[in-house]
């Protein structure tokens, strides 16, 4: 048995916390169900991040579509700050209350992965970043992880099914096991070159048995112009200074005319150690720091009942708008309005919390993943990771 919920079980509200089931039972028994507005926001971001990137939008709306409710939500991939509302649901409370748990799960985890991917994308600049971390997460959520990582800025990902679901090819060449079976790096790389289709880059893993520099030169001599790059996945116990290893390897390759051979690094990478090796690495395979990224701790809170502003202490009551400048991306939260304002930079500030479901009908068009990814990258030009 796989201990996972099916799509149908999620849609039936079976993944809810039991106190929501009991709340619905009491409200219906006492006939006190009310029309409410509830908003989703995070009052704090992980590790004091200044911004996060919203993920999980399509899954959240898929769950809510067909319910007798209205939904406003930010576009997937929107960068936001703590206290910014990212979604609002309006309807009879018992029509959506049992979905709070699932909705938070969709938004919190996907946003965490998208955010971490975007932060690494920002640090890596134009260099290649691939998502390699799903092997350490539950396999049923692998497509979600890879989609969120791609949207956040990764250039590719490793899981086959994710590629099938979002219409992108998975990336990857060889594991250590291939080289171990052959007993020699060059033999394994030559076999790979002979068997695998030619449009797959020839990137050799060169840290299995011997010194990285000398293994790199061996495979370069064997494949010559057919070798696209090498990957260094050196264990931390043998790593020393990865920057110096890369620097030395680059020197030796260039000295022998192998300027075309790229250097890729994987294993335990995050924003900080990527910064250290940026000068000499051409790309990065990033694993657990993306797939197991800190979740964005959203909460859902009622802030209006039967048209009257009300919220628990510590929360601001009433529906809200998130105004954002179309020029500099300056943002502010205000009581609900559709009026535009002029930003200090001269740009126009518009409400970006947009209707997505009206009376149960989906009115939002889901953009393709490349469009969402480009939207994230465009915003990143205005943000940094400090």
Q: Of 192, 244, 256, whose CA–CA distance to 220 is shortest?
A: 256
The alpha helices in the chain, defined as continuous H runs, are 7-11, 18-29, 57-64, 93-96, 100-124, 142-152, 160-166, 176-182, 185-195, 212-223, 236-239, 242-255, 271-277, 288-291, 369-380
Residue 237, pLDDT > 70, answer no
Query: Each residue of 160-171: pLDDT tens digit?
Result: 999 999 999 999
- Using pLDDT thresholds of 50, 70 and 90, give the confidence band for residue 195: very high
Q: How far apart are CA 94 and CA 24, in angstroms?
A: 6
- Using pLDDT thresholds of 50, 70 and 90, give the confidence band for residue 236: confident
3-state secondary structure of 124: helix
Residue 107 has which token pair?
Answer: 């938004």
Query: Each residue of 351-368: pLDDT tens digit?
Result: 999 999 999 999 999 999
Question: What percent of the chain shows pLDDT beyond 70?
Answer: 99
Mean pLDDT of 334-358: 96
| Mean of per-residue pLDDT scores for the chain | 96
Q: Which of 52-56, 78-82, 172-176 has the lowest mean pLDDT?
A: 172-176
Residue 270 has which token pair?
Answer: 């995050």
Q: Where are the domains of the chain?
A: 7-113+294-315+362-380, 173-269
Q: How far apart are CA 317 and CA 43, in angstroms?
A: 14
User: Class of the 173-269 domain?
Assistant: alpha beta
Residue 68 has which token pair?
Answer: 């007798």
Q: What are residue 166's phi and psi, to 5 degrees? A: -110, 5
Q: Of 382, 384, 375, whose CA–CA distance to 153 is shortest?
A: 375
Q: How far apart are CA 29 and CA 35, in angstroms?
A: 17
Contacting residues for 229 by C-beta, under 8 A, at least 6 apart: 201, 202, 203, 204, 261, 262, 263, 264, 282, 283
Q: What is the CATH number of domain 7-113+294-315+362-380?
A: 3.90.1170.20
> What global pTM score does this model have?
0.96
Q: What is the CA radius of gyration of the chain?
A: 24
- Using pLDDT thresholds of 50, 70 and 90, give the confidence band for residue 177: very high
Selected residue with higher pLDDT from 112 and 272 = 112
Mean pLDDT of 372-383: 96
pLDDT of residue 247: 96
Q: Angle of helix 100-124 relative to helix 142-152, nearest 10 degrees?
A: 40
* Surface-to-core class of residue 252, CB atoms within 10 Å of its CB (0-12 exposed, 13-18 middle, 19+ buried): middle
pLDDT of residue 131: 97
- Sheet containing 85-92: which strands, arranged edge to edge? 308-309, 299-305, 35-41, 85-92, 69-73, 354-358, 361-362
3-state secondary structure of 40: strand
pLDDT of residue 110: 98
β-pair partners for 133: none
SS3 percent helix, strand, coil of the chain, rounded to 5, is 40, 20, 40
Total residue length of the chain: 386
- Cβ-contact 72, 79 below 8 angstroms: no
Q: How far apart are CA 172 and CA 226, in angstroms?
A: 16
3-state secondary structure of 324: strand
Residue 234, pLDDT > 80, answer no
Contacting residues for 195 by C-beta, under 8 A, at least 6 apart: none
């Amino acid at each position: 048995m796989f201990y996972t919920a099916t799509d149908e079980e999620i849609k039936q509200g079976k993944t809810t916390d039991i106190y929501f089931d009991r709340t619905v039972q009491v409200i219906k028994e006492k006939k006190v169900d009310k029309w409410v507005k509830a908003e989703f926001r995070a009052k704090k971001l992980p590790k004091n991040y200044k911004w996060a990137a919203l993920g999980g939008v399509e899954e959240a709306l898929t769950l809510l579509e067909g319910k007798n409710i209205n939904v406003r939500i930010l576009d997937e991939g929107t960068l936001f700050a703590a206290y910014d509302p990212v979604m609002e649901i309006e309807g009879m409370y018992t029509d959506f209350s049992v979905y709070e748990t699932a909705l938070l799960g969709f938004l919190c985890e996907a946003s965490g992965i998208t955010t971490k991917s975007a932060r690494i994308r920002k640090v890596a600049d134009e260099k290649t970043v691939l998502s390699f971390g799903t092997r350490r997460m539950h396999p049923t959520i692998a497509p979600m992880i890879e989609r969120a990582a791609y949207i956040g800025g990764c250039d590719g990902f490793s899981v086959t099914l994710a590629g099938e679901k979002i219409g992108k090819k998975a990336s990857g060449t060889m594991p250590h096991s291939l080289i171990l079976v052959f007993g020699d790096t060059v033999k394994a790389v030559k076999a790979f070159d002979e068997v695998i289709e030619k449009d797959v880059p020839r990137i050799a893993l060169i840290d299995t048995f011997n010194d990285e520099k000398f293994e790199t030169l061996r495979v370069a001599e064997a494949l010559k112009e057919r070798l696209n790059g090498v990957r260094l996945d050196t264990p931390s116990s043998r790593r020393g200074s990865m920057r110096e290893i890369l620097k030395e390897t680059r020197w030796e390759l260039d000295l022998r005319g192998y300027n075309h051979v790229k250097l890729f690094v994987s294993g335990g990478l995050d924003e900080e150690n990527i910064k250290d090796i940026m000068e000499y690495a051409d790309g990065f395979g990033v694993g657990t720091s993306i797939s197991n990224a800190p979740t964005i701790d959203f909460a859902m809170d009622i802030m209006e009942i039967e048209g009257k502003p009300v919220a628990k202490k510590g929360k601001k009551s009433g529906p809200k708008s998130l105004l954002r400048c179309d020029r500099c991306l300056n943002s502010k939260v205000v009581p609900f309005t559709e009026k535009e304002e002029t930003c200090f930079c001269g740009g126009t500030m518009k409400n970006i919390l947009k209707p997505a479901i009206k009376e149960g009908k989906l009115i939002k068009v889901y953009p393709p993943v490349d469009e969402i990814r480009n939207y994230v990258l465009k915003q990143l030009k205005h943000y940094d990771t400090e």
